[in-house]
């Protein structure tokens, strides 16, 4: 009974998400026929089409649960499967220097973004929400941080609304930077993983640069996501709420990161049969496109109109600072 009820609640949103994903695949196919190559990946088309549909037509409540399911659960499964194409040996060349750089970028960005918000007159709580969203993992970080610092609901709504839209827009800008600065696939993956807000957006941003960029970008981003637990605990400690704040293990270390690492380990020790690698990669790609469509359907451009100008400026300046900081990391790692 529970499964039937769950399926019925998910089905409408799943169908509309599948339609957007199919439209994205057809758009890329048509692009290849017309121009001889794909300038825009189906992942990006999926986000764009989803945003257009949501912003113009809206989304009835009956579709929301299915869209959320695709944006979260399907994406998490795709990330786990992606681990099967990444070996520890392939990433090991980066060493501890990259991990140290990721931690440093998150810490410095948090400090700078918070003070940018304060300098622009944002409240203490709103400045911290924008800083956490910018420095760690967008809306997920904002949602996790809000109860720890007792943020007001309107502050949460303001920071989430603009972060969602800015994150999607940034996905379209990044490939231009890749072409303009002639970054290698590995460098572009590192830069994307350090700057893009959410895991699905990293996948979309790095796809045009090839498999290596996707693999490196995903790994860097997942390490960045792991910083959420220590940051939230530190905020609770500073606010005197460490004893009250009981973070579930799955919030500190999400299950899909554990699965991703397990699959990467299996790949590293050749535990995955060669015959299974291509179906796993195909399934991961399909689920990722589906998640991108759901991501687009979750973003309403009109929400930006309800966000104050100072929040917009704070988010833009914080992202600009993060990009500059990430550029320095590329120079240091070169």
Q: What are the tens digits of pLDDT across the range 247-274?
A: 555 555 567 777 877 887 888 788 888 8
Residue 242: pLDDT band with limits 50, 70, 90? very low
**Residue 280 belongs to some domain of the structure:** yes
Q: Which among 58-72, 231-245, 265-279 has the top mean pLDDT?
A: 58-72
Helices (H) and strands (E) in the chain, counts: 17, 0
DSSP string over 47-79: HHHHHHHHHHH---HHHHHHHHHIIIIIHHHHH
**Cα–chain center distance at 281:** 20
**Residue 4 belongs to some domain of the structure:** no
**Residue 18 belongs to some domain of the structure:** yes
Task: Specify the 3-state DSSP secondary structure of 167.
Answer: helix
Statement: residue 97 has pLDDT above 60: yes
pLDDT computed for residue 322 by the predictor:
94
Q: What are the tens digits of pLDDT across the range 173-206?
A: 888 777 777 888 889 999 999 999 877 788 888 8
**Residue 117 belongs to some domain of the structure:** yes
**Residue 2 belongs to some domain of the structure:** no
Q: How many domains is the chain partitioned into structurally? A: 1
**Residue 1 belongs to some domain of the structure:** no
Q: What are the tens digits of pLDDT across the range 11-52?
A: 999 999 999 999 998 998 888 788 776 656 787 788 889 888
**Residue 3 belongs to some domain of the structure:** no
Domain region containing 279: 10-333
**Residue 70 belongs to some domain of the structure:** yes
């Amino acid at each position: 009974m529970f499964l039937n009820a769950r399926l019925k609640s998910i089905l409408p949103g799943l169908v509309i998400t599948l339609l957007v994903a199919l439209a994205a695949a057809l758009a890329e196919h048509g692009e290849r026929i017309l121009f001889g190559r794909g300038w825009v990946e189906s992942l990006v088309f999926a986000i764009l089409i989803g945003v257009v549909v949501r912003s113009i037509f809206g989304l009835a409540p009956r579709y929301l649960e299915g869209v959320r399911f695709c944006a979260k659960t399907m994406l998490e499964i795709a990330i786990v499967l992606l681990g099967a194409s990444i070996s520890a040996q392939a990433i090991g060349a980066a060493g501890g220097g990259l991990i140290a750089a990721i931690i440093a970028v998150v810490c410095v960005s948090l400090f700078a973004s918070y003070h940018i918000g304060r300098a622009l007159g944002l409240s203490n709580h709103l400045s911290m929400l924008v800083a956490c969203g910018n420095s760690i993992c967008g809306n997920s970080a904002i949602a996790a941080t809000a109860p720890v610092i007792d943020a007001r609901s309107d502050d949460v709504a303001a920071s989430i609304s603009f972060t969602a839209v800015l994150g999607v827009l940034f996905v379209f800008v990044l490939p231009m930077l890749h072409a303009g600065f002639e970054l290698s696939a590995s460098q572009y993956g590192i830069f994307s993983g350090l700057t893009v807000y959410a895991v699905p957006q990293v996948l979309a941003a790095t796809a045009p640069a090839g498999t290596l960029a996707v693999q490196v970008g995903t790994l860097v981003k997942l390490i960045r996501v792991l910083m959420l637990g220590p940051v939230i605990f530190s905020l609770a400690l500073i606010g005197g709420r460490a004893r009250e704040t009981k973070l579930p293990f799955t919030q500190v270390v999400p299950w899909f990161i554990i699965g991703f690492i397990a699959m990467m380990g299996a790949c590293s020790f050749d535990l995955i049969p060669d015959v299974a690698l291509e179906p796993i990669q195909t399934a991961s790609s399909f689920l990722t496109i589906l998640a991108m469509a759901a991501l687009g359907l979750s973003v309403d451009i009109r929400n930006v109109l309800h966000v104050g100008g100072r929040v917009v400026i704070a988010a833009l300046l914080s992202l600009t600072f993060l990009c500059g900081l990430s550029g320095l990391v590329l120079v240091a790692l070169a």
